[in-house]
Structure 1
Amino acid sequence: MALKLIVKTSVLMLFSIFFSVSSATEKLTVVFGGKLAPWVISDTNEGIIIDLLKATMQPLGYKIEPLYLPYARRVNVYKAGGIDIVSDMNMNTINEHNLEGFFSDTAYTYENLAFSLHKNQFKFTQLTDLKKHSLLSWQDAGIHLGEAYAKMANNHPSYSETFDQLVQVKMLFLEKFDVVQMDAHIFDYYRAQIINAGKIDAAQQVDRFGLFGASPNGFLFQSEVLRDKFKPVTTY
């Protein structure tokens, strides 16, 4: 009986070791932008993009290990290796940064708008109208949004980009910039946070201008096998 117990115990230990190793190899390190709520909420490891990736990959036995970085750094870290997936990719960004990997195609879409304070009564009908006013955008927008946007940004006398989109919203209501350019959901999320904090008057009316069109995005995978397994049930 003692020998049988030893054998059973040894077998169980081997299975335990095997599954522990197997589980460790199933972790996927994924780089996300750090200030993109509600798409990415780093404090709770949740958000639309994270939930989309989890819903697709976790049933296949993969565990998502998120890494939150500013836009420019996330690209450099992916290129350096050791990262399985990077989010917020399109062909403009992939080509400009010479990124190697396998693109998922469109998995979700941002709705980028230009925001200004209503009291200023700005009227924007085309991209070039923005050159008359100070504009704060998000990091790498000049690459990500294509040629027309890049041309406007490169010839703009008062154009800046930041990795922190909470700062964008604050700068608008503090009247440090005339216009901010960002996704509508991100703007609304951070505006609500600022209102709740009560230190900045963010309740005043704003105007929204749809000058940029939809911004389709997806994931870039190091592995073609993993990319082929990624089949989101829903595209956001």
Structure 2
Amino acid sequence: MIKSAPLRALLLGGVLLCAGVQAMPVIKIGFPESIPPWVNAGNQPGIAIELLHETLKAEGLVLKPVFQPYARRLQAYRHGTLDGLYDISPSQQHAEQLGGSISRPLHSFDNIAIALSRRAPSIEHTAELGKWRVLAWEGASSLLPASYDQLEAVANGRYHEIADQQKQVRSLFSGRTDVILSDRLIFEWYRRQLKSEITLDTSQPVHIYAVLPPSETGILLHDSALRARLDNRIRALKASPRYQAVFSRYGYQPQP
């Protein structure tokens, strides 16, 4: 028997707290399996997951990330087993015929072209990428303007896409490709990870070309009311020091 009133109150409070936590609605969001530092960054959850966790927590909601390949994520969303999807553009939503609405951007991908400085390719416009061997992330072709003749580049073996972006960065520093297309933070992440490899010199200077548009990254949600609530919380998060703090934990400056 518990004789202490303060102890009884403490235990009762703990039970109520646990009940409150259990009662918090869980929101299942589909994510890629790994795109560090945004998703699953080593022993950290990733910048995007932490940002979304912050916004949902402010609404009294619990984020449950679900990591799946692209096709399976879309299928799960269509079947209603996911409440939302991370990083679906309006063009993708239209092409894949996905219902729902997209939130305001949680963050953006700073898409850039990168080459070794010693090669110093002259690239002032996207069209000039056609002169060089380009290795892009999977799906990058959707961002390339009509001025870049992708069909000709593919036919001449000068344009390829790859899902594994670590291999992409490795190809740049080993000289197997002239230019890579990547988000700035993804490139910096893998460059750091490969630094310890004796056979690969990642300290080589690189030149960055701002010839691609950034990609704003929101959350596609079935529930339009939830999307509106999320919009407000994203706006508030970006105006607060917590936004900077999340990026700082990974050693980066924010990408709006």
Interval containing the TM-score (normalised by the shorter chain): 0.7 to 0.9
Give the gaps of 5 or more residues in structure 2.
1-15, 240-255
In structure 2, do the counterparts of structure 1 residues 125 and 146 end up closer, same or farther at CA, with 3 Å as the change threshold?
closer
Distance 1:109 1:209 in 2: 17
Answer yes or no: is the 8 Å Cα contact 1:35–1:164 preserved in 2.
no
CA apart distance, 1:146: 6.0
Residue 102 of structure 2 corresponds to: 103
Say which structure is richer in strand: 1
Answer yes or no: is the 8 Å Cα contact 2:221–2:227 preserved in 1.
yes
Residue 188 of structure 1 corresponds to: 188
Answer yes or no: is the 8 Å Cα contact 1:29–1:64 preserved in 2.
yes
Give the gaps of 5 or more residues in structure 1.
1-14
RMSD of aligned residue pairs (Cα, Å):
2.8
Answer yes or no: is the 8 Å Cα contact 1:87–1:220 preserved in 2.
yes
In structure 2, do the counterparts of structure 1 residues 179 and 69 end up closer, same or farther at CA, with 3 Å as the change threshold?
farther
- 1:159-186 Cα distance to aligned partner (Å, 9 max, x none): 2222222221112112222211011111
Answer yes or no: is the 8 Å Cα contact 1:127–1:211 preserved in 2.
yes
In structure 2, do the counterparts of structure 1 residues 106 and 70 end up closer, same or farther at CA, with 3 Å as the change threshold?
same
- Percent identity over the alignment? 27
In structure 2, do the counterparts of structure 1 residues 219 and 154 end up closer, same or farther at CA, with 3 Å as the change threshold?
farther
* 3-state SS of paired residue (1:172): helix
* 3-state SS of paired residue (2:27): strand
Answer yes or no: is the 8 Å Cα contact 1:28–1:62 preserved in 2.
yes
The 5-angstrom pairing of residues 1-236 of structure 1 reads 22-23=23-24, 26-44=25-43, 46-71=45-70, 73-143=72-142, 145=143, 147-148=145-146, 152-157=149-154, 158-230=158-230, 231=232, 232=234, 233-234=237-238, 236=256
CA apart distance, 1:208: 0.7
* 3-state SS of paired residue (1:201): coil
Answer yes or no: is the 8 Å Cα contact 1:70–1:163 preserved in 2.
no
TM-score, scaled to structure 1: 0.81
Distance 1:90 1:175 in 2: 33
CA apart distance, 1:219: 0.9
Distance 1:52 1:34 in 2: 17
- AA partner of residue 148 (structure 1): A
- AA partner of residue 210 (structure 1): A
In structure 2, do the counterparts of structure 1 residues 115 and 84 end up closer, same or farther at CA, with 3 Å as the change threshold?
same
TM-score, scaled to structure 2: 0.75
CA apart distance, 1:197: 3.7
- AA partner of residue 153 (structure 1): Q
In structure 2, do the counterparts of structure 1 residues 96 and 213 end up closer, same or farther at CA, with 3 Å as the change threshold?
same
- AA partner of residue 173 (structure 2): F
Answer yes or no: is the 8 Å Cα contact 1:34–1:42 preserved in 2.
no
Distance 1:193 1:38 in 2: 11
CA apart distance, 1:153: 3.2
Distance 2:181 2:209 in 1: 9
Distance 1:176 1:65 in 2: 39
Answer yes or no: is the 8 Å Cα contact 2:112–2:182 preserved in 1.
yes
Distance 2:76 2:150 in 1: 26
CA apart distance, 1:85: 1.5
- AA partner of residue 150 (structure 2): A
In structure 2, do the counterparts of structure 1 residues 45 and 84 end up closer, same or farther at CA, with 3 Å as the change threshold?
farther
Deviant stretches of 4+, over 4 Å: 15-21, 70-73
Pairs aligned (count): 221
In structure 2, do the counterparts of structure 1 residues 198 and 76 end up closer, same or farther at CA, with 3 Å as the change threshold?
farther
CA apart distance, 1:131: 1.4
